[in-house]
Amino acid sequence: MTAPWTDVPWLGFDTETTGINPSSDRIVTAALVLRLGGATAASEDKTHTWLADPGVPIPEAASAVHGISTEYAREHGRPIKDVIDEVAATLVAHWQRGFPVVAFNAPYDVTILDAELARHGVPTLDERLSGAPMLVVDPLVLDRHFDRFRKGKKTLTTMAPAYGIEADEDAHTAEVDVAMTLDVLAAMAAKIEALAGLTPLEIHELQVSAHADWAEDFEGYLRRQGRDAHISRAWPRY
C-alpha cells in the first residue's frame, strides 16, 4: 500500500515573477525545497534556488515585492530557458516517484512554469510526465476547505499564525516562502484529523473536489455582488 502523504518526501515549490498573470508574466526566481520526512522532517531541508534573466523588463511593482531589478537579473541571472528546464526536470522526477509537490496557490506557479516551457520551446510538464499523475498539495486549497469561515485574508503570512507558525519577515523570497509553506502544511496535517492516512493521490483528489466547490461558491458570491465572474473549476491549473 502507498505510504500516507504525510510520510513521504515533500518537494516545496515557489516562484517570484514579473507580475500576477500566470499565462503571460515571466519567472524571475524559483526555489525547490526537499523535506525528506514530509510532515515530520527526517533531516535538514535541501534547498535549490535559481535566478533567471526573464528576457523582459521587470516592472517596478514586482521588484518592490521580491527585490530583483531588471539590471540585477540581467547581470546575475541565468538564461530563463536553462532555469525552467532544470526546475521542470526536478519536479517531474519527484512526481514520477509518486511523491507530492507542495505549493501555496499551486495553480499560479504550475501554470506560469508551463507557460514559460511552452514559450521557450521546452517540453511541458504533461509532455515530460507521459501520463504519470501530477500530485500537488496546496495549503490554500485545504485551508479554504477545512476552515472556510475563518475571518481574514487567505495569504501565506496571514494563514501561518492560524496554525501556530510564525510568519517570516523575509516572505516573498521564494525559498523563505517555500519553507514557511512546508511548516504550515505540517501543522495543518497535525491539526486536521480528516487528512490522516490519505495517500498522495487521495490528498490530490480531495483538493480537486475542494477547489471546485470553493470556485462555485466564490463565483456565486461575486455575482451576487454584481460582478461578472468566472472561476475555473480545474485544479491545479487555471
Rounded to two decimals, the pTM is 0.93
What pLDDT shows up at residue 41?
A: 77
Question: Would you place residue 238 in the very low, low, confident or very high pLDDT band (cuts 50, 70, 90)?
Answer: low
Residue 9 has pLDDT above 70, yes or no: yes
Predicted local distance difference test score (pLDDT) of residue 170: 66
Secondary element (H or E) of residue 80? helix 80-96
CA proximity to 31, closest of 17, 8, 46, 48: 48
- pLDDT tens-digit readout, 130-140: 988 999 999 99
Q: What's the rounded Cα separation, in Å, for the pair 197 and 193?
A: 9
Q: Which domains does the chain have, with CATH numbers?
A: 10-225 (3.30.420.10)
10 contacts 100 by C-beta, under 8 angstroms: yes
pLDDT of 110 reads 95
Residue with the three cell numbers 524571475: 28
Extended strands (E) in the chain:
10-17, 27-35, 46-53, 78-79, 101-102, 136-137
Kindly state the percentage of the chain with pLDDT values over 70.
Answer: 97
Average pLDDT estimate for 211-232: 91
Number of CB atoms found within 10 A of residue 116's CB: 28
- Compute the average pLDDT of residues 111-126: 96
Q: Would you state the cell numbers that stand for residue 115, as one nine-digit string?
A: 507557460
